[in-house]
Structure 1
Amino acid sequence: MVFWSEVSGVENNAATWRGLWMCLIATYFASIGNIISARNQKNAIPVVQTNAFGMAYGALIMAVFALFSQVPFNYDSAIAYSLSLIYLAVFGSILAFGSYLTLIGRIGADKAAYAAVLFPVIALGISTLFEDYQWTLRADSVEKLSIMTRP
């Protein structure tokens, strides 16, 4: 509902349906990952190691996909790009996933999944500060409801 103005303008075509299916499949695999993480932590497997293995497997899968896609490797060597890549790797991936997986171990995958409700709210807050996002009444109402609702 927060993004209704963007969603309402989407065309009903094959690319849209492919994107929707990709989102649903990604959500399914993320849920499976949460459950596997909870099981691993119950079996006393450390979060750091499972996080590292998960990221290594993901990198390997993406490398194989990149090789078979026959698209040339391209890296923007601008300092702003490199710094943002490092920031996303360290804070947006390693520390964020480590924290989230630790949360799963402490309170369970079902309750930890409620954290995902806050992701769009935080992103829109940052977008408001840096990109001049204009809040609609609908977006503002949904944002307040998502913050006030208990899991």
Structure 2
Amino acid sequence: MRMHPIHLRPDVSHIPRYFDARNKREWQGRVSGVSDQGWCGASWAFSTLGVTQDRLSIESLGNESVRLAPQHLISCDRRGQSGCQGGHVDRAWQYLRRIGVVNEECYAYESGRTGQVPVCRIPHNANLFSLRCAAEEQ
């Protein structure tokens, strides 16, 4: 997937006053809904994964539609992150690029019910096969 650069001095004449990705015709059905983070302040994880899921779906023309696991990020990305007490989107992106995350079916979200961050249960160098995670149905 090709990511376009961020322009620090954008041409404001090319930026619409209003934009709703859900209404962009060619993105219909490819943009995630709102997720409830419950009693856990982990918007850094939810927003990062929401953008990632949407980009995968949009770029693959809907062929790659997956719900990524925020609990994986919250519990396992501990480098400069504070779990349910907040975190940094840029560090979450780095974790995604270096390590990746499994799907929601493989690592269910639980911090929203408790406000607690369980210990990471994904071994380093694990993958969906070694974790015995089922692929998500499309």
Normalised TM-score (structure 2): 0.25
Between the two structures, name the one with larger relative contact order (CA 8 Å, sep ≥ 6): 1
Higher gyration radius (CA): 1
Normalised TM-score (structure 1): 0.23
Structure (1/2) with the larger helix percentage: 1
